[in-house]
Structure formats: C-alpha cells, structure tokens
C-alpha cells in the first residue's frame, strides 16, 4: 500500500525536513519519473535519491541515518 509507505517515509523525513518533508518526497518521485503504482525497486531508488538530498542538506552522517530508517520502512513493507 504505497500511501502507507510514503506516509511513513514522510514522517521519517520530517525531523530533518520539517514541513518540507512531503514536498521533498514528491519532488524526488517526480525526478525519478515515478507516478501511480510504485514498484519495490523504485522505492529503493527513491530512498537513494532522498539519501543524496540529505547529504546536501545535512552531510553524510545524517544522510546515512535517514537512509537506514527509510530502508527499514521498505523492508517492513516488503
């Protein structure tokens, strides 16, 4: 259920991105051309894009922390 996954991803991103979290997720989805039903492999790509964005915003240590949380959400949903 993508909405649930994405809601969880947004909530996980919120501590770093604040109220921009949902917009950030949507922006990265658009960048990857993801629309409609999103496959598991694409969610992985999405998590990697978000990690890259986190690196720019807060550096590698924080990016890895956010990324590992996103991976945990995806694994839980699989």
Partner 1 sequence: MIQEAAQLPAARVRSYVTNLDEQMEGGIPRGSIVLVCGRPGSMKSSLTYYMMHRQATVEGQRCVYVTLEQSRASLVRHLSHIGIDAEASGRVAIVDLAQLRKAFGDNGPKGDTNWLKAIVDQVASYKQLLGCEIVALDSMSALYSLHEFTNPRRELFHFFEGMRALGVTVFLISEMYDPEKDIFARYEVEDFLADGVLHLKVDRSDGQSNLYLGIVKLRETRHSRSYFPLIVEGEGFEVVAH
- Tell me the two tokens of residue 60: 């590698």
d(CA 10, CA 55): 17
Helix 21-31 × helix 40-58 angle, to 10°: 120
* Chain centroid, CA 51 distance in Å: 8
Question: Going residue by residue from 35 to 74, which x/- string records binding to partner 1, judged by CB under 8 A?
Answer: ---------------------xxxxxxx--x---------
Q: Does 10 bind partner 1 (CB under 8 A)?
A: no
Q: Which stretch binds partner 1 (CB under 8 A): 3-11, 20-28, 40-48, 70-78?
A: 20-28
Give the interface with partner 1 as residue ranges (CB under 8 A): 14-20, 22-24, 27, 56-62, 65
């Amino acid at each position: 259920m993508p909405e649930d996954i994405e809601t969880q991803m947004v909530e996980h991103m919120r501590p770093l991105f604040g109220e921009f979290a949902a917009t950030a997720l949507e922006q990265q989805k658009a960048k990857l051309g993801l629309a409609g039903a999103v496959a598991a492999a694409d969610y992985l790509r999405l998590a990697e894009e978000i990690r890259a964005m986190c690196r720019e915003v807060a550096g590698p240590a924080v990016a890895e922390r956010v990324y590992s949380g996103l991976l945990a959400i995806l694994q839980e949903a699989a």
